[in-house]
C-alpha cells in the first residue's frame, strides 16, 4: 500500500499513533530549566565584577512571558528560595523579588494581553534592570557608587541575553510537548 | 501567546487563580521577612546554604578542573604567538630576579641569626587544607567564592585563604565538604595592611568593582605612591603579617585605589591557613566587661 502523505499523521510534536505526551516532562521541564539556570553562575569564577547575568531569573522571565499560566503565580516562592541558596544574596531576597516579578507579570497580562516579541523584550528588560538594581541594594553590603557603576556590564548583558533565553525556553517548550512512544 | 489566566465563568478556575494570587502575595511577604532577618543577622540559615553547596560541590569541582585546564591550553597557545619578544623580556627579568634572590637569601640568613639570638621559635605554619576554588557567586553584587574543602577537612570560620601570590579572602561559612569565602574584593571586606617597605598602616576595603580602597589610618599628607605594594599587617589576629595584598594604582586625597595581587579568578589551588593569633581574635570578640576564656 502506498503512503501518500508521510507527514499526515504527525504534527510539530512528532507522530501521533502509539505516542503520547509525558505529563512528567511537560510539567517538570520549565521548573528544572529555571533551577539549572540558578545553578549555572556557580560554575563561573568571575570575581572582579558581578558580570554573569542572573540566568535563573532570566529563564523564569522567559518562561513566564512565553507561556503565561504554565508557572503558577506562586512559583516565585520555591524557585526564588532555591536561587537564594546559591546566589550569595541574603536568604529571602530571591523569594521576595521573584514573587513580586510573578505578580507584576500577571498585571502585565491584564494590561497588554497581546504582545509582540519586542514588547516582551521591553517588559523583560525592565524586569531584569529592576532585578539587578534591587539585588544590589538588598545584597547586605553598603551600596556605594563604584559598586553601582560595576553593575552596568551585567545589566547590559542580561538585557541582550533575553532573546537567547527566550529561544532556549521555546526550544525546551517544543521538547516539553514531544510525544513519547507508549510501551505496553 | 494569549494569556490563559482569564478564568472565564468556571468557579473552580476562578478560585484556583484567586488562591494563586493569595499564595504569591504571602510568598512575597515571607520573602521580605526572611530577607529582613538575613540582613539583620547574616549567618541566618547558613546551615541550609552549606548543605546545598555540599550537594553542588561534586559538579562544581569537576567544572573547576576543566576550567583551569582549558585556561592552561589557551595560555600556552598565547605563549607560542609571543615567544620571541617575551623570551628576551623574561631573560632580563630572570637576571634581575637572580640578583634579588641572592639579596633575599642574605636577609633570610641574617633573620635566622637574629631570631636564634632572640630565641624566637619560627614554627613552620602548615596549611589546614589545600583546595580548589570551585565556584563563585558570579551574579551577585557580593563577592563570594566557594572552596572545595569544609569542616571535615578542618576548615573553620575566620581562617585566611591564601594563593601562592597573596591573600584571597577569609572563610565565611563552612559546610561539610565545601565552604564559602568572603573575597577581599567584597564591599564588606576590610583588611588591615601596611606598606611593604615601611610601617605605614592602612585599611584595604573592597569597593565591589574589582578594586580595593586603601584608607590611611594617619590622615595628613598622603605619602602613597602609585606602585606601592601593600602586605598584611597582622593586626586583628586573622592573617600572618607580610602576605602580599594589593598594588596601588591611583592616589586619592585620603589614601588610594589599589588592584588586588592575587586575583581569585586566576588562581587554581588555594591554601586555608590557621588563624594567626586565635587568642587575639577571641579577645576582640569578647565584650570588655567579660573575662576571656582560654
- pLDDT tens figures, A54-83: 999 999 999 999 988 889 999 999 999 999
Calpha distance B170→B162 (Å, rounded):
9
Q: Which residue has the higher pLDDT, B11 or B267?
A: B11
Please determine, for the modelled complex, whether the ipTM score is greater than 0.95: no
pLDDT at B270 over 70: yes
User: Do the beta carbons of residue B14 and residue A64 sit within 8 Å?
Assistant: no
> In terms of CA atoms, which chain B residue is nearest residue A154?
B139
Calpha distance B56→B53 (Å, rounded):
5
- Cβ distance A68 to B5 less than 8 Å, yes or no, reads yes
The 10s digit of each residue's pLDDT in B69-81 is 777 777 777 777 7
- Cβ distance B3 to A109 less than 8 Å, yes or no, reads yes
CB contact, 8 Å: B284 with chain A? Answer: no
- In B137-221, the DSSP E strands lie at 144-147, 160-162, 167-174, 179-183, 190-195, 201-206, 212-216
> In terms of CA atoms, which chain A residue is nearest residue B51?
A85
Question: Which residue from A47, A88, A144 is facing B265, i.e. has the nearest CB?
Answer: A47
- Cβ distance B142 to A141 less than 8 Å, yes or no, reads yes
Residue B29 binned pLDDT confidence (cut-offs 50, 70, 90): very high
Question: Pairing state of beta strands B160-162 and B269-272?
Answer: antiparallel
The 10s digit of each residue's pLDDT in B70-128 is 777 777 777 777 778 888 888 888 888 888 888 888 888 888 878 777 766 555 678 88
Residue B268 binned pLDDT confidence (cut-offs 50, 70, 90): confident
Question: Which residues does chain B have within 8 Å of residue A144's beta carbon, measured at their own beta carbons?
Answer: 187, 207-208
Percentage with pLDDT > 90 across chain A: 47
Question: Which residues does chain B have within 8 Å of residue A46's beta carbon, measured at their own beta carbons?
Answer: 136, 138, 265
CB contact, 8 Å: B136 with chain A? Answer: yes
Q: Which domains does chain B have, with CATH numbers?
A: 56-118 (no CATH), 127-288 (2.40.10.340)
Q: Record the pTM.
A: 0.79
- Cβ distance B185 to A47 less than 8 Å, yes or no, reads yes
Residue B138 binned pLDDT confidence (cut-offs 50, 70, 90): confident
First vs last C-alpha separation in chain B: 68
Calpha distance B13→B7 (Å, rounded):
5
pLDDT at A140 over 90: no
Per the structure block, which three cell numbers stand in for B217?
A: 589610618
Question: Rounded mean pLDDT of B161-187?
Answer: 88
Percentage with pLDDT > 70 across chain A: 96
Residue B1 binned pLDDT confidence (cut-offs 50, 70, 90): very low
Residues A62-73: b if buried by 16+ CB within 10 A, e if exposed: bbbbbbbbbbbb
Q: Which residue has the higher pLDDT, B288 or B34?
A: B34
Task: Report pLDDT for B122.
Answer: 56
- Cβ distance A73 to B20 less than 8 Å, yes or no, reads yes
CB contact, 8 Å: A184 with chain B? Answer: no
Question: Rounded mean pLDDT of B143-159?
Answer: 89
A 10 A CB-CB count for B81 gives 8
- Cβ distance B24 to A85 less than 8 Å, yes or no, reads no
Question: Which residues does chain B have within 8 Å of residue A74's beta carbon, measured at their own beta carbons?
Answer: 20, 23-24, 27
Amino acid at each position: 500500500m502506498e503512503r501518500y502523505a508521510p507527514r499526515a499523521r504527525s504534527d510539530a510534536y512528532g507522530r501521533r499513533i502509539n505516542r503520547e505526551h509525558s505529563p512528567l516532562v511537560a510539567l517538570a521541564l520549565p521548573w528544572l530549566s529555571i533551577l539549572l539556570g540558578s545553578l549555572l553562575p556557580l560554575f563561573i569564577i568571575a570575581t572582579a565584577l558581578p558580570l554573569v547575568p542572573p540566568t535563573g531569573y532570566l529563564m523564569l522571565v522567559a518562561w513566564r512571558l512565553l507561556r503565561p499560566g504554565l508557572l503558577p503565580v506562586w512559583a516565585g516562592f520555591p524557585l526564588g528560595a532555591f536561587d537564594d541558596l546559591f546566589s550569595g544574596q541574603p536568604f529571602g531576597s530571591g523569594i521576595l523579588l521573584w514573587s513580586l516579578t510573578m505578580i507584576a507579570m500577571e498585571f502585565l497580562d491584564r494590561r497588554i494581553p497581546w504582545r509582540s516579541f519586542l514588547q516582551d523584550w521591553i517588559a523583560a528588560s525592565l524586569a531584569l534592570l529592576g532585578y539587578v538594581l534591587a539585588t544590589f541594594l538588598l545584597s547586605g553590603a553598603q551600596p556605594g557608587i563604584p559598586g553601582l557603576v560595576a553593575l552596568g556590564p551585567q545589566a547590559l548583558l542580561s538585557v541582550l541575553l533575553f532573546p537567547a533565553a527566550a529561544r532556549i525556553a521555546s526550544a525546551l517548550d517544543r521538547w516539553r510537548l514531544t510525544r513519547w512512544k507508549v510501551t505496553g | 501567546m494569549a494569556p490563559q489566566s482569564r478564568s472565564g465563568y468556571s468557579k473552580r478556575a476562578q478560585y484556583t487563580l484567586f488562591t494563586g494570587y493569595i499564595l504569591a502575595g504571602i510568598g512575597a511577604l515571607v520573602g521580605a521577612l526572611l530577607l529582613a532577618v538575613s540582613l539583620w543577622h547574616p549567618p541566618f540559615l547558613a546551615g541550609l546554604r552549606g548543605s546545598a553547596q555540599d550537594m553542588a560541590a561534586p559538579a562544581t569541582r569537576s567544572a573547576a578542573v576543566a576550567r583551569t585546564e582549558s585556561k592552561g591550553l589557551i595560555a600556552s597557545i598565547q605563549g607560542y604567538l609571543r615567544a620571541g619578544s617575551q623570551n628576551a623580556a623574561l631573560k632580563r627579568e630572570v637576571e634581575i630576579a637572580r640578583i634579588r634572590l641572592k639579596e633575599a637569601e642574605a636577609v633570610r640568613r641574617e633573620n635566622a641569626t637574629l631570631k636564634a639570638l632572640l630565641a624566637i621559635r619560627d614554627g613552620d605554619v602548615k596549611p589546614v587544607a589545600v583546595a580548589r576554588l570551585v565556584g563563585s557567586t558570579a551574579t551577585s553584587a557580593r563577592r563570594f567564592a566557594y572552596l572545595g574543602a569544609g569542616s571535615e577537612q578542618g576548615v573553620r570560620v575566620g581562617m585566611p585563604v591564601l594563593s601562592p601570590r597573596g591573600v584571597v579572602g577569609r572563610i565565611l561559612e563552612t559546610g561539610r565538604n565545601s565552604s564559602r569565602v568572603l573575597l577581599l574584593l567584597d564591599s564588606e571586606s576590610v583588611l588591615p595592611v601596611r606598606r611593604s617597605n615601611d610601617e605605614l598602616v592602612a585599611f584595604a576595603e573592597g569597593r565591589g568593582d574589582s578594586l580595593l580602597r586603601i584608607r590611611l589610618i594617619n590622615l595628613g599628607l598622603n605619602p602613597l605612591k602609585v606602585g606601592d605594594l601593600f602586605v598584611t599587617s597582622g593586626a586583628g589576629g586573622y592573617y600572618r603579617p607580610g602576605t602580599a595584598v594589593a598594588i596601588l594604582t591611583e592616589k586619592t586625597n585620603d589614601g588610594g585605589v589599589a588592584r588586588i595581587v592575587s586575583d581569585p579568578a586566576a588562581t587554581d589551588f588555594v591554601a586555608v591557613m590557621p588563624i594567626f593569633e586565635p587568642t587575639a581574635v577571641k579577645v576582640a570578640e569578647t565584650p570588655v566587661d567579660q573575662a576571656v576564656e582560654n
